[in-house]
Amino acid sequence: MDKYTNGQNIAAAAEKNIRTDFKESMTYGEYLHLDKLLDAQDGVSGHHDESLFIIIHQVSELWMKLILHELQAAIRNIDEDDLQPAFKQMARVSKIQTQIIQAWDVLATMTPAEYMEFRGDLGNASGFQSYQYRLIEFALGYKTKHVLKIYEKDAALSETLNEAFQKPGLYDAAIQKLARSGFKIDEAVLNRDITMVYEPNESVKAAWKTVYRDVDTHWELYQLAEKLVDIEDSLQQWRFRHMKTVERIIGFKQGTGGSSGVHYLKKVLDQYFFPELWELRSDI
């Protein structure tokens, strides 16, 4: 018996317990509902590159679902003063964000000429309408009421978004944690209307500055601050790659959903979720 045949026999013996009969038990494909998942790429144009376009956006939506799952858990844990699990959840969000950022590199392999061959078939469907992206913005504290109108077509979805719009975000939870830790935070911030876009506040900035100037005393709050910065940094990188990919493929054309396209995407780069954590870097 040669070495190759002997090696095959050894390998087969080592894997003798591999299951092959699934008539009465659940398979990998059934557990993941792969029949539904892999049958959900029906395009509208028949163009070769539409599969790329659909899959990139579907994968991003799946990652966003997980981001929301982790953010919501992190908010709950911060509210309960259980910061260590929140740190793990926030760190996971940052890792997920790297996957979404890199997805733009794959989409950027599609040229303007290729996209123009099926772009018109998309009608007014646009990534601008991604409700999970809006939920992420809400969870991070950035809320603009006018976007809710986009989702009125679906009553259940509209209700979900309105509920999320009314809930405190991640930064609200962090600021409340500062107050519970003994920092003097303005009552106007602690009792603010959480449906409004957050505005920077000097008492919040002063609290974070104290944390950064005495890390040993405020180690957990320092970790919390840096996890927040990680998330915002990654989100801004995602936004930048989004903007440059759109510019690379369609230039400065209007978006299919009616937005100004690249002009709009450049404007949102100026939005901050946790402004004091960026401002204090010039002061310490």
Closest CA to 190 of 211, 209, 204, 205: 204
The answer on whether 56 is annotated among ligand-binding residues is yes
Is residue 57 part of an annotated ligand binding site? yes
Query: Cβ contacts of residue 36 below 8 Å, gap of 6+?
Result: none
Question: Alpha-carbon distance 145 to 195, whole Å?
Answer: 8
**In terms of Cα–Cα distance, which of 56, 58, 93, 55 is closest to 72?**
93
- Give SS3 for 102: helix
Q: Is 54 annotated as a binding residue?
A: yes
Judge whether 144 is annotated as a binding position.
no
Tokens representing residue 280 in the block: 């204090």
Structure tokens at 34: 């792969």
Length of the chain, in residues = 284
33 carries a ligand binding annotation: no
Report d(CA 103, CA 119) in Å as an integer.
19
Annotated binding site for substrate, which residues? 53-57, 115, 119, 256
Binding-site residue positions: 53-57, 115, 119, 242, 256
Binding residues for heme are 242
